[in-house]
């Protein structure tokens, strides 16, 4: 599984970081950090990552097929 993040759309709510902290976090400036940007999310984090995608209040995350 891969996820694309639209950093311009992200408003720093942090819902993704709450749902999938191994995949996403907010830095000290409340900017999104996607730990697997451009790569594949490990299987043990897929369920949480999918929850993060569907939970984003501004739809800044998208699962890539």
Domain covering 2-64 in this structure, CATH number: 3.30.70.20
Cα separation of 58 and 13, whole Å? 9
Domain positions in the chain: 2-64
> Could you read off the pLDDT tens digit of each residue along the chain, which spans 65 residues?
999 999 999 999 999 999 999 999 999 999 999 999 999 999 999 999 999 999 999 999 999 97
pTM of the model: 0.92
């Amino acid at each position: 599984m891969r996820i694309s993040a639209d950093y311009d759309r992200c408003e720093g709510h942090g819902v993704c970081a709450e749902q999938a902290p191994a995949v996403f976090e907010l830095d000290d400036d409340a900017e999104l950090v996607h730990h697997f940007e451009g790569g594949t999310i490990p299987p043990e984090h897929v369920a949480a990552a999918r929850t993060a995608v569907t939970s984003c209040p501004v739809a800044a995350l998208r699962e890539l097929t």
